[in-house]
Structure 1
Amino acid sequence: MNVTGYIISLCCAVFFTAHSQTADDIRKMVNDVGADNSNFYYEIPFEYPGEIVIRAEVGGELHNFLFDTGGYTMIDAALLQKNNFTILGKQLLSSTNGLAKETDIVKAGQFNIGGLVFNDVKAYCIELDNSPKLQCMVDGGIIGSAIIQNYIWQIDYPNKKIIVTDNIERLPGMEGALKIPVYLNGNLQPYFMSRINGRSQWLMFDTGCASQLWIGDKDATNFIDTAPAKTKIIGGSVETHHGRVSDGINVFKADCVVNGLEFNATPAYYREGSGLTLFGNPVIKDYIVTLNFAQGEMYFKPIKEKPAAKQWEGFGFTLEYMEGDYKIATVIAGTAAEKAGLVPGDRITVINGKKITCPDFCGCWQEFSQLLENSQEVILTANKNGKARQVKITKGKIF
C-alpha cells in the first residue's frame, strides 16, 4: 500500500447551533430526507481516484459528489449561488483536521442519483476552493449519511459500480459474505467493533477517509507505546471540506480484526487534535462491501478467494505542484527517501529522465499518483540551494 501525500478525511461533527434551534433540532432537520422509492434496483457507476465519486443531478445539472458514509450531505457554494437555494440557518461545523467554521444549511431540493430520487434534501454549504485535492475530484459536494442510511448500497470495486436497492435479495453474489453488526450514532454515522493489536476498539466506517485506519488522538494513546513499529510523515497535512491543516502525521503498525476478517500490518495514522477513529475506503479494493444501515448491518465479501497478505510499502515520499514548481511534499522518516537526503520543499525538475510538464495541481496530482503507484524505481533530479543532483530510490517495505 502506498501512503498518499496527505490524508483526506471528511468526517464532521456539530459543535453548537446558531439562532434558537437546538443541536437536536438541526440534526433532525438535516437527517430528514424524502426517500419514497420502493421496489427498485439501480446500478450507479463510480470513479475511484482515492475516493468513491458518483454523479448526481442537483438543480437540473449533473455534478460529481463524494459518496461518504461518515459525513453530512454537502453542496459547494457555487451550487448555492447558481440555484439560489433557500438558506435555513447556520451551524458551527467541525471536521477531522480540527477546523471548524460556521456553515450555511440550505434546502437543496431534489437529488437524482442514477435514477434514484431523494426529495427535500437539506445540505451544508462548503467551499471546495479551500480543499485542493477534493476540488480535483468533485464539483458538487458530498452524498452523506442522511441519504445513504435509507437504502441498501453494494460497492463493487472491480466493476466500478454501486448497486442500490430496497431489497437485499436482489443483490448478486451475497453468498459467502460476512455480516458485520453496525451501530448508527445520532448523526447516522456507522460504527462497528474491532480489535486493534489485541485491544477492543470502535471504528466508524467512513468511505470519505482515504486511509484504511485513522486513529483519534485519545484512542491512539492506547496503542502507541506497545506498537510493533512506528514512524512519522514529515510535511504531512490533513484535508477536509474545510481546508488543509499542515502537521506532522504519526503512524504505527496495526493488526486489525473485524469479526474474523484480518487486516494485518496496516498503517494507522494519527495526529494531535483529531478525535475520530475511522476505518476508511481502501477496503473496497479487496472486498465487495454492502451497506444495509437501516437494518444495522453491513457485509464484506472477498473479491478474490483470499485477499493477498499486504505490507506497507512505498518510496517514502510524495510530490506536489506548488506555486508553479514541482516539489517534495512529504517524506516518511526512516525510509530510503529520507536517507537519500530528500526533505519537503525540495524542487524536482526531472523524473526518470523526463522533464515534468504537468500544468496544475490536479493534473500533477494524477500524474504523480500514477507514477508512484505503478513504478518500482524512480530517479529524481532534485534542486536545492541552486544545486542539482540525481537521487535513485527503490520502492520498499516501510513496515
Structure 2
Amino acid sequence: MKSGEVEQKEFNVNIPFEYRLGMIILKVNISGKAYDFLLDTGAPNVISKELAQKEGLNNIFEQKFGDSQGQTSDLGMIKLDKISIGGIDFLNTGAAIADLKQSKEVGCLEIDGFIGSNLMKNAVWKFDLQNQIITISNSAASLNIPESSKKIPFFTHITGTPIIDIALNDVKEKNVIVDLGSNGDISLSKKTFNKLVDTDPSISRTVSFGPSSSGLYGVGATDSIQHALISNISFGDVALKNVVVEFTNESSSTIGTNYFKNYNLIINWFEKEIILTKKKEYDNSSLSSYGFSIGNKDDRLIVGGILTNSSAAIKGLKINDIILKIDSENYGVLTTDHWCHIVENGLFNEEKSTITVIVLRQNKKLTFSLEKTKLL
C-alpha cells in the first residue's frame, strides 16, 4: 500500500462528482472503460470481484482487512498498473478485491470500487462539497486558499489514511480518522465517553441500542450507543460548541462527510495538512427522534434500534419487530430497489410530530402512536 505515483508532474484538474447515500461517487477510468467508485479516505483502494474478473486481475497475496464495524476478512491484494481520474494517471497502486454486494447498504451504492488514501496521498485534493466539484492538483499553491481558512495537522496510517487528534471539553481522543467514506458526523470511542462522564457527571446524554451503521461486510453487531451533547470540541484551528457526538465500541473513531459538507475541504498529503473554508454553520446541537432506527432482516423491514427515554421506548416498541405499516405506507417483502430507496431517502416525513406504526411481533399485530421528542 506504500507504492504508487502520478504519471503527470504538473496537473490541476476539476472533476464533478455525485452523492449517493450522502457519500462521494466519482468516475474513474481503467483500461479505457469508465467505472463508478466511492471516494473513501478511511480505506485503501478496493475493487469489486466482478471488476477484478473482468480485468483479469489475480491475487498477489492475501491480507486481513477490517471494516468500520470491526468485522474482518481475508481479501486478495492486487496491483493496479494505471487508474485515471479526470485525465490524471495514478500508477502502480495497490488494491483489495472485495464482494461489494455482501453489505446490502454498500450494494445500494452500485459502485465498482473505492478510491482510497493509498492513491489519494500522491496529490492534493480539494472538495467543493456544495457544488460537487473535486480539484486534483500537484500543489496547494494553485488552490486560492482564503486567509480565514482553518488548518488541521494530521498524520497517516500506512495506507495514507489521515488521522487527527480531537479535544472534547478537557478530554482528548487520538487517532480519529478523517473518513469521507462515512456519511456520518463525529463518532468517537466509548473510552472517551467514560472519561467525559467521569470528569462531568452532569453531561447531557442518552443511549440507544442497536447497530450504529453498516460497513464493507454488513451491519455491525447490536450494542449500546451513547449520544452526548459536548459543549466544546477542538481540532487544529477548528473550535465547535454544543455538538451532539456519538460514542460506540466500533474499531475506529471517525469524522464523516456530514460534518465536512459545511466546508470547502483541502487534504494536502504532502504537507500533512487539512484546510477548511466555512461555507455554512455546522449545526448538530440537538437530537430529536421518534426513538427507533430501522434494519433489513431477511428482506423484511424491522426495528433495528431503540433510543432510551424516547416515545418508541416508552410505548414498548422492540428491536426486531417487523414493521408492517407507517401511517398510510405498507411494507411487505422488500425488494432491493425498495430498500435502497428507503436508505437513500429515509422512511418518513421528519417534519411530522406524530406517526402511527403497526408491527408484527410473535404473530401478533401491534399498533403504536409515536411522538417526535427532543432527547438532547
Give yes or no for the alignment of 1:328 onto 2:299.
no
Counterpart pick for 1:197 among 142, 155, 169: 169
Residue equivalent to 1:292 = 268
Q: Is the 8 A contact 1:106 1:124 kept in 2?
A: yes
Matched, 1:267 2:245: yes
Note the alpha carbon deviations across 1:152-186, whole angstroms, 9 max, x for none: 21222221222222233433563422111222243
Change (3 A) 1:330 1:196: same
Would you say 1:244 and 2:222 are equivalent positions? no
Aligned twin of 1:13: none
Evaluate the alpha carbon distance shift between residue 326 and residue 252 of structure 1 in structure 2; reply closer, same or farther with a 3 A threshold.
Answer: closer
Structure 2 residue 188 is matched with structure 1 residue 215: yes
What is the CA deviation profile of residues 365-390 of structure 1, one whole-angstrom value per residue up to 9, with x for unaligned ones? 43365245742223322233344343
**Structure 1 residue 34 and structure 2 residue 37: aligned?**
no
Distance 2:333 2:316 in 1: 25
**Equivalents in 1 of 2:31, 2:313: separation in Å?**
49
Query: Aligned partners of 2:371, 2:157: CA distance in 1, in Å?
Result: 44
Corresponding residue for 1:6?
Answer: none
Pick from 85, 90, 93 the counterpart of residue 121 of structure 1. Answer: 93
2:53 aligns to what? 81
CA distance in 1, matches of 2:80, 2:369: 51
Instruction: List per-residue Cα deviations over 1:73-103 (Å, max 9, x = no partner).
Output: 1111121122111322122223343322222
CA contact (8 A) 1:70 1:145 kept: yes
Alignment counterpart, residue 258 of structure 2, candidates 262, 274, 282: 282
The aligned amino acid for 1:174 is P
Q: State the Cα RMSD in Å.
A: 2.6
Alignment of 1:52-131 (within 5 A): 52-131=24-103
Matches of 2:178 and 2:245 in 1, distance apart?
16
2:159 maps to which residue?
Answer: 187
Between the aligned partners of 2:223 and 2:111, the Cα distance in structure 1 is 29
Distance 1:232 1:309, change over 3 A: closer
- Distance between the aligned counterparts of 1:219 and 1:187, measured in 2? 25
Q: Quick check: 1:265–1:312 contact (8 Å CA) kept in 2?
A: no
Among residues 153, 168, 172, which one is paired with 2:125 in the alignment?
Answer: 153
Structure-1 separation of matches of 2:321 and 2:305: 10
Moved more, 361-370 or 78-87: 361-370
CA distance in 2, matches of 1:319, 1:365: 13
Query: Residues 237-269 of structure 1: CA distance to partner in whole angstroms, max 9, x if unpaired?
Result: 543223333221321315222234205332222
Q: Which moved more, 1:205-214 or 1:134-143?
A: 205-214
* Greater CA drift, 90-99 or 169-178: 169-178
Residue type of the partner of 1:289?
L
Mapped partners of 1:276, 1:224: distance in 2: 20
The answer to which of 149-158 and 227-236 deviates more is 227-236
Work out the CA distance in 1 between the residues paired with 2:36 and 2:338. 17
Gap regions ≥5 residues in structure 1: 1-29
1:221: Cα distance to partner?
Answer: 4.1
3-state SS of 1:123 partner? strand
Deviation of the 1:65 alpha carbon: 1.9
Distance 1:331 1:137, change over 3 A: same
Mapped partners of 2:72, 2:344: distance in 1? 29
Q: TM-score, normalised by structure 2?
A: 0.87
Aligned residues: 367
Deviation digits for residues 78-134 of structure 1 (CA, Å, limit 9, x no counterpart): 211221113221222233433222221112322122322212222011112322111
Q: 1:279: how far off?
A: 1.9
Deviations 1:199-241 (A, max 9, x none): 2222221222333222245545433544613433323254322
The change in CA–CA distance for 1:155 and 1:372 in structure 2 (over 3 A counts) is farther
Match of 1:14 in 2: none
Q: Distance in 1 between matches of 2:11 and 2:300?
A: 53
Aligned-residue offset at 1:295? 1.1
Secondary structure of 2:52 counterpart: helix
Rounded to whole Å, the distance in 2 between the matches of 1:63 and 1:287 is 27
Matched residues in 1 for 2:266 and 2:104: separation?
30
Whichever residue aligns with residue 275 of structure 2, its letter is Y
Amino-acid identity (%): 18
